[in-house]
C-alpha cells in the first residue's frame, strides 16, 4: 500500500510540474511568433503563424504521448522497470540539449552572420 501512495504522490507532483511548464511554454511560443510576424509581416497570412505554432506544439505533445508509453512498454518487457526509468531519463536529457541550444546559443551565433536578424526577449514585449 505504501508504494501505491508514493506512486500517486509522485504522479501528482509530475502533473503539477507539467502544468507549471506548459503555460510559460505556450506564452513563449506566442512571443516568438509575434517577433517573426514583426520581421516579415503577412508571411503566414492572417493569424497563420499562431495556428502553425500551436499545431506544431500539439503535434509534438501528441507524438510524445504516443511514443512514451510504447517505448516504456517495450523496454519494460525486455529489460525491466529500472531500464525504463534511465532510458526515458536519457532520452529527455538528450532532447534538452537541442531545445536549449536553439533558444539560447543559436541566436548568439546567428546574429553576427545575419545582422538583420532581430532577437526579441520577453522583457521587451512585457514593457510595451
Read off the pLDDT of residues 52-109 as tens digits, 9 standing for 90 and up: 778 878 888 888 889 888 988 999 899 988 888 888 888 888 877 776 766 665 555 5
Domain count, the chain: 1
Which pLDDT value is given to residue 78? 92
Instruction: Name the residue among 56, 65, 61 with its Cα closest to residue 32.
Output: 56
**Are 120 and 35 within 8 A, CB to CB?**
yes
Task: Give the pTM.
Answer: 0.55
- Lookup: cell for 124: 521587451
Tell me which residue has cell 517573426. 36
Angstrom distance (rounded) from CA 84 to CA 91: 10
Domain that holds residue 86: 2-126
Bigger pLDDT: 17 vs 122: 17
At residue 102, the pLDDT reads 64
Asked if the model's pLDDT at residue 122 lies above 50, the reply is no
The answer to whether 47 and 37 are in contact (CB under 8 A) is no
Amino acid at each position: 500500500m505504501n508504494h501505491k501512495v508514493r506512486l500517486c504522490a509522485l504522479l501528482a507532483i509530475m502533473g503539477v510540474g507539467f502544468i507549471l511548464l506548459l503555460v510559460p511554454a505556450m506564452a513563449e511560443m506566442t512571443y516568438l511568433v509575434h517577433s517573426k510576424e514583426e520581421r516579415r509581416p503577412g508571411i503566414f497570412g492572417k493569424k497563420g503563424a499562431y495556428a502553425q505554432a500551436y499545431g506544431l506544439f500539439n503535434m509534438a505533445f501528441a507524438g510524445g504521448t504516443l511514443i512514451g508509453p510504447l517505448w516504456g512498454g517495450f523496454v519494460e518487457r525486455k529489460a525491466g522497470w529500472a531500464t525504463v526509468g534511465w532510458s526515458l531519463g536519457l532520452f529527455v536529457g538528450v532532447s534538452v540539449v537541442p531545445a536549449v541550444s536553439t533558444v539560447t546559443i543559436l541566436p548568439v551565433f546567428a546574429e553576427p552572420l545575419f545582422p538583420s536578424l532581430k532577437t526579441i526577449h520577453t522583457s521587451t514585449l512585457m514593457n510595451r
